[in-house]
Structure 1
Amino acid sequence: MEPTRLVLDSGELPNDHEDAGLIRQYEERGGDIRRLIYLSLGETWNAVAPGLAAVLASGLPVHSHGYTLSPYGLPALRDVLRDYVRRTHRLPQAGTETYDVAVSQSGTRAAMSDFGRLLLTDARTPDTAPAALVPSPGWDYGGVLAPLGYRLLPYDLGAVRGWQPDPAEIESLLDSAGHWSLVVLNPQHNPTGANWAPETVRAIVEAAVARRAAILLDDAYYALYTPGQLPTNALRILVEETQGSTVPWLATRTLGKQFHCNGWGIGALTARPATLAGLARVMHARSYGCALPLQAAMASWLRTEQADDFVERLRGSYAAARGRVSERLRTDLGFPSYAVHPGTCSAYLRFRVPTRYVHEGSEARYRRLCLQAGVLPGAGSMTGPRLGPRRRRDPSEAYVRLFLAQPGCVLDEALDRLARAGLGW
């Protein structure tokens, strides 16, 4: 696809992004990347909320082109975000000792890294490598935390449990981790699309608080769930269960997923005021506030009914795509029901790689064959082999994921290409 070319070229400079390398190889072997259907990264490059783009184009306050003296984001956006988080998560009034809200100004990935650094700074035993408990399969938390010195302890999400975590396993990991730990939660789970049960999330939070473990809540897909179903409100559980404790916690919620504006790097950071102040100090060591014009546009957009309407339509679009792709994988490509995991939330659909294409639990060969057919699915987990689960899995089992935000005709063409190439079950 042409947008892929526009954001891919690094000239003669090295690019370590795995997808970039695969796409370059595809082009070098004669593939036309303008026709490539890219379903790996959660991005389309052309589906930003029209109303949001219109606000950005309509003129912004002149002060938004300069510095901000508040380290918590543009005040107008911070105020709107505080109300938005309180309303959508059904929280008590913000601004008390319980929690407050700031703006993530350079992406929630950077905010997660800042939180990891803050915990290291505040650690009472800095010579002990902290442990980070991360979901497996899962997003690239290891890429954020391992470079900071965290020992990565994956907790398993398996099909037998409906891709739900086991609180007992997490308790065991916490007990064996040492002096202090960080528990990462992703209750609208990427990449499985599973919505973790409220009682499961509460049990994990209770276990962490009892052991004084820090908590990082990745709420990236809280807004993206199947219409008619309620997502688990993990932030509310976190606020309730940490009252009266001093356990550090942070909830990140990007706005890029729900408005298709990942490149803006804007989201909400919810934590105790003292934690937000600590994050501001860490951020100031590397950056001033940034993206102020984008923050001004987002502040105006979030005040409108159109913002809620866009998210509601997006939920319906994802649900329709989830159902359509699941059905076609089963009927047109022959996948058994147990191999297709449509889920009920997030922006992806995950399915099992046909056994004949799996080598030692890796989906790499299947991805390369799909790429030869003009489709690039994503790896089934961003945690990577070095973060594999503690329990050995079947070496014939691997997964890929498909991003569902492309138009239905594009998703259909992708499945047609896989079928023509014989890449079904």
Structure 2
Amino acid sequence: MKYRILDITRTITRVGLSHPTGIDRVERAYIGAFLKVFPDEAVFLAKLSDGCFVLDAIDMERFVAADFGNSLDTFIGFKDVMRLKLSRPRRRAQSFIHKKAKWSAERNISTILNEKFPDGFDYTNVGHSNLTDPFLATLKPGGCDDIRIMVHDMIPLDFPEYCRPQTPQDFLRKMQAVAAHSDEVICNSEYTKSRVQTYFADWPNNVSYVVAPLGVESYFKAKKKAKPIPAHFTILGTIEPRKNHKLLLDVWEALSQQTSEAEMPILHIVGKRGWENGSFFERLDASHLLGHKIIEHNNLDDVALSDLLNNTRALLFPSFTEGYGLPALEALAMKVPVVCSDIPVFKELLGENAHLLPYENIELWVAKLLEIMRQGSKWTISEEKNLSNFIIPTWSAHFCHVFGEYKFK
């Protein structure tokens, strides 16, 4: 039997951390799909500091049932008890992997892959982990037929100014390894595909591409809404320079001069404070609007976030650049309007279903928010008509694009 290996290294390394990131959620969606559709062929590989470990579907289901490892009650074994730099949930997760792995390999990975998978295997990686030349180079000699890797964006190369100093160089090496070894690259949009192809054109490769928009989970759906007075708006995501929170602080200061106290809207900033954003945090902390007309939520759970989005007038997304922008699609699935920057990926994915504005034009953003606040409903008749014809991407459609499997329908 030919096996399908899904790399879950990112999921393991994220145990014990805060709410899952966008890439975390994608890897979790793939885990769920492999368990559902390939229960016999699927195995799950985690590369830890002491080697590669493989779980079967039964133990992977146990891991998922324990909140993706966050609520495991596994006894922390000798190998992990002294890894004090890791959180306790992370050490429990690694002990679970060490105890339940059907096999492991510290070295000679190609030889062991050949022994364990004599009929060959496919390898899928959607978490941007293990994208190194030494690791990927072991797969084909080990009997791998197809190496399938998702590239979420090329932001570290296109916009290095929005990344930590070492990230662009590390990411460059990852992408060169992907070009050298992968058979297929999964892209979440035509825009991402075009950016990948721009760089890969300079590197030897035999890559084919599939464009498969990321799915919106079914629990993102319209609910009966309250209509808070004053209006509430929300921006969602790590508070980092690329997300352009600065624009919204400018907008709210302008709104405070143009509206009464009763009409002045409330901005909810949802996300943890990120990197390279000290000047914005200083300004935000000093703002007279913070805690009153601007409310910061650093650790909102899923239920509270769903309630907040359900009652917001619009999701705001003024980013300078995005690889995809899944929260915007989730908002539209909930029938929440989206006001976002007019960058290529939003034009492609959202089109006429979002209010697209230049990401530096404070006056246009102020005018649009005032318009939304003062109109009788969230949507005009023409906007509702457009939205009724808009197809929200689903995970089943995504997996059909990637694997061509009827079982995903």
Is TM (by shorter chain) over 0.5? no
Question: What range describes the TM-score normalised by the shorter chain of this pair?
Answer: under 0.3
Tell which structure's C-alpha radius of gyration is larger: 2
TM-score (norm 1): 0.25
TM-score (norm 2): 0.26
